[in-house]
Amino acid sequence: MGDTSENTSKLDSQTASNQAPVSQDDSKPTERMQTLQEHLTQRTDEHNEEQSRQNTQEPSEASAACSSGQPNTKVQKTEPQDRDGASSEQPHKTHLFVEVADHQWPIVYSTEYNIGFLGMEKLHPFDSGKWGKVFQFLREEGMLSEATIVRPLEATEADLLVVHSSSYINSLRWSITVAGITEVPPVALLPNFVVQKKVLKPLRTQTGGTILAAKLAMERGWAINVGGGFHHCSSDRGGGFCAYADITLSIKFLLELGLIKKAMIVDLDAHQGNGHARDFMDMMDKVYIMDVYNRNIYPHDGFAKRGIRRKVELDFFTGDEEYLDKVYNHLKKALEEFEPDIIVYNAGTDCLEGDPLGALSITAEGIKNRDQIVFEFAKKERDKPIPVLMVTSGGYQRNNARIIADSILNLRQKGLIGCQAAEEHQAKRKKKTGSSGSPSSPESATTPSSGASSPTSPTSGEPRRGLLDWFKR
């Protein structure tokens, strides 16, 4: 994700040769945001119960190929989390871990992810409805249905305070603060209750989705939140369209539940992930961050770079060959240096060629190959696969949703993600209704259809079994 305040015309005058990496010591943390105003709007218990009911309204009809989650897990705060000094050592009971049936994919999405109010969302280049489009594309391809998707709940204030300071949460009760974070100035003129409902509630729901998906990844081996990836937000400040630190929260929840001891963040969004880097700066022995980003664009956070263990800085218009080579080699070295219990993969698509903010030149095929590389490293390159949580993060073109959906379909086709119970459930529903659509049997998930072209290497037409095999040659 990124900031639109920079003048993108500088791309024409700035090149790799005259732009040096920002020193880790040449910038300081900015001042924390102002505090005050009304109480954050709370989600009603009735709505929580309705969402949980929808997740379990279809009975399981298949084997436990995909195990189910457990609801209402207590999260014990092992140390005070409120950075303003308030006591926070009591456990808090979260309702985010809704029951998930065997036949549901570990793919999390809600219609409440999408942002729209009087056309104001069009004032930012971000496609605030892309999450719904991703789901629609996957449904059209026969992979997902309303019955097989997992619907998350909105993160409550108690959930958010596991990481965020109360002063930061309070600052979001000022519409002008939210206008700065979302980079949509007219938001400052709206009553805050409207901002809470139309802007922040969707982001809180996506944050709840990331936390839920993290637990699902540990249970199923992988999970995807169709939204999330707010990597510019830290515990006490937001920016770049990121109001809540969902990546930090997901890892904190897993640590406090005792489900993991160590995590790796692989951030491949075009922008530096300064939020989680700040949050885990004092926990680098437990959280390893690999960040591949365009060094010439927002946020230029030199201080946050201290929290990145493997920093890979790119120049304007880096293309597929150099990009994929760096992703492969640095991820290989990162996993040799550090053995995580989970990989949190921030799969931003703003590296796509033509993106007005990312300013890189990665093709749609390059993005699919990039995602495949990450999953292959986690699944195929070790005796014990590493669970992967994928979030979709930034991307500022209208074709981003199609590319995200195509990449997920590619991971399914390659056998890197799957849920046999969901495939069988979907096949039974199609047989009952006689509906047409893309094959969704377990066999079709891993076997190209007749006439389909064979998988090729990222930089040639040469066939290959897996991208890692190609790179090894």
List CB contacts of 473: < 8 A, sequence separation 6 or more: none
Give CA–CA dist 398/182, Å, rounded.
Answer: 19
Start-to-end Cα distance in the chain = 34
40 torsion bin: left (phi>0), alpha (psi -120 to 50), beta (else): beta
- Tokens standing for residue 464: 């290959």
Give CA–CA dist 246/379, Å, rounded.
Answer: 24
List CB contacts of 287: < 8 A, sequence separation 6 or more: 251, 262, 263, 264, 265, 276, 280
Contact 247, 265 (CB under 8 A): yes
CA 139 to each of CA 13, 142, 145, 439: distance values in angstroms, whole numbers, following the listed order? 44, 5, 6, 12
Residue with tokens 């033509």: 354
CB atoms within 10 A of CB 236: 22
Q: Which helix (H) or strand (E) holds 292?
A: strand 287-294
Q: Which of the following is catalytic: 95, 231, 232, 425?
A: 232
List CB contacts of 448: < 8 A, sequence separation 6 or more: 413, 454, 455
Give CA–CA dist 298/355, Å, rounded.
Answer: 14
CA 396 to each of CA 22, 187, 378: distance values in angstroms, whole numbers, following the listed order? 25, 20, 28
CB atoms within 10 A of CB 40: 17
Residue with tokens 């510019």: 232
How distant is the alpha carbon of residue 325 from its chain centre?
23
CB atoms within 10 A of CB 470: 21
- Tokens standing for residue 112: 């409440």
Give CA–CA dist 309/38, Å, rounded.
Answer: 39
Residue with tokens 């900015």: 30
Give CA–CA dist 320/431, Å, rounded.
Answer: 42
Contact 310, 293 (CB under 8 A): no
Catalytic-residue membership of 232: yes
Contact 269, 404 (CB under 8 A): no
Q: Give catalytic residues, as residue numbers.
A: 232
